[in-house]
Amino acid sequence: MRIVQDERDVALNPGQAIGVVGDVLRERSSGSIPALARGAYQLRLAESREDREAAFRLRFLVFNLELNEGLECAYEAGYDTDEFDKTCDHLIVEHRPSQQVVGTYRLQTGRVAGSNLGYYSEREFDFSPYEPIRNSLVELGRASIHRDHRSFEVLTLLWRGIASYALQRNARYLVGCSSLTSQCPQEGSDMYWRLKEFLVEPVLRTSPRPGFTIPISAAIPETPRINPPRLLRAYLSIGAQICGEPAMDREFKTIDFLTLLDLTKLCSSARFRFLRNE
C-alpha cells in the first residue's frame, strides 16, 4: 500500500463497524472495472503501453525525485518499474483537462500472484499465513499521487477503484506495504510500538524474512521520534490492521509495515463512500 499524500485528513469515521459485505460481493461480477469520474478527474484501468508508462513516470517523479527513495535503476530511464509490472493491473487517475496521469495504484489478485512471480510483499514478509485466503486477496502497491493534484477527489477515486476491483473479483482482503521514508531502525521500532494496538488477529500475523528484520526495543519508547503518516492513520481508521513487526526495505529506502484490510470490517461511512453505486 505504498502511497504518497500530503498532510490531509480523510475525514472517515473510525468508530462505526459494519457487517459483512457479502451482498455487495454477490452483486458484482468479475472483469474490468467501470470508469469512475469525480470533478476534473477520471479513474480507469491502464489499457495500453502508453498508460502504463505514464504511471511509471509518475511513480519515478514521486518516489525518486520528490521523496528521495525508490529504485536506483529508475534514474536511468526516468521510470519506476520492476518485473511485477508486467503481470499486475494498474489503476490510473487522469486529469481530464490536461490528459495527464496524476494518480496510480498497482494491483494483483492472489491467483495472479500464484501463477506468476508471487506477491511483491513476500520478498520482505512471510506470506504463509495468507495461503488459506489466497483466492480472496488483492495486493496493492506502488501507489502515488502527483503533488499538484493531492486532493480528496483523487484519493477517493483511487479508493473507490480499488474497492470496485476487489469486489468484482470476489476479494475480501486488501494487503500491501505501508511505508515510512526512513532507514532508521529506531524509528521503525518506535512506530511499531505506536501501532501495536492495531495488530491483526494472531492467525493472520506474520514477520519479516531474514535479512529484512528490524530490532524492536523491549520497552515502549518514552518519547516517540515520529508520528504515523496521516494516510496510514486513514487506513487504520477504516479498519486496516498491521500484520506484525516492520521490515527494512534497503532497495527502496523505506521501512515497511505489512497492512491488511478486511472489507467486511469497513466502517459505515467508508462503506458508503467507496462501495456505493452512482
**Is the pLDDT reported for residue 31 higher than 70?**
no
Confidence band (pLDDT; 50, 70, 90) for 278? low
Residue 3 has pLDDT above 60, yes or no: no
Please report, as a single letter, which amino acid is at residue 120. Answer: Y
- Look at residue 126 and tell me whether its pLDDT is greater than 60: yes
Please give the model's pTM, rounded to 2 decimal places: 0.86
Distance between terminal CA atoms of the chain? 26
The pLDDT value recorded for residue 230 is: 73
Residue 258, pLDDT > 50, answer: yes
Distance CA 35, CA 43 (A): 6
User: What is the CATH code for 22-275?
Assistant: 3.40.630.30
Relative to beta strand 36-38, strand 41-45 is antiparallel
What is the average per-residue pLDDT within 185-204?
95
In sequence order, what are the beta bridge partners of 112?
A: none
Average pLDDT for residues 150-154, to the nearest whole number? 91
Query: Residue ranges of the alpha helices (H) in 82-151?
Result: 110-115
* Backbone dihedral angles phi then psi of residue 248, each to the nearest 5 degrees: -95, 115
- 272 pLDDT band, cuts 50/70/90, is confident
Q: Are strands 36-38 and 254-262 parallel, antiparallel or unpaired?
A: unpaired
Span 6-21, pLDDT tens digits: 333 333 232 322 233 3
Confidence of residue 22 (pLDDT cuts 50, 70, 90): very low
d(CA 177, CA 11): 22
- d(CA 272, CA 275) in angstroms, rounded, equals 6
What lies within 8 Å, CB to CB, of 181 at 6+ separation is 67, 68, 69, 253, 254
Please, which pLDDT band fits residue 185 given cuts at 50, 70 and 90?
very high
pLDDT of residue 18: 28
Helical residues (DSSP H) of 127-263, grouped into ranges: 152-168, 185-195, 230-237
Q: Which of 276, 234, 238, 242 is nearest to 260 (CA)?
A: 242
> Does the structure show a pLDDT above 90 at 34?
no
The H-assigned helical ranges of the chain are 22-27, 49-59, 74-77, 110-115, 152-168, 185-195, 230-237, 268-275
Distant-in-sequence, close-in-space partners of 223: CB < 8 Å, separation ≥ 6:
none
- The amino acid sitting at 242 is I
- The owner of cell 525508490 is 70
Using CA atoms, how far apart are residues 64 and 253, in angstroms rounded to an integer? 10
pLDDT band at 227 (very low <50, low <70, confident <90, very high): confident
In the chain, the amino acid numbered 236 is L
In the chain, domain spans: 22-275
User: Is the pLDDT at 78 greater than 70, yes or no?
Assistant: yes
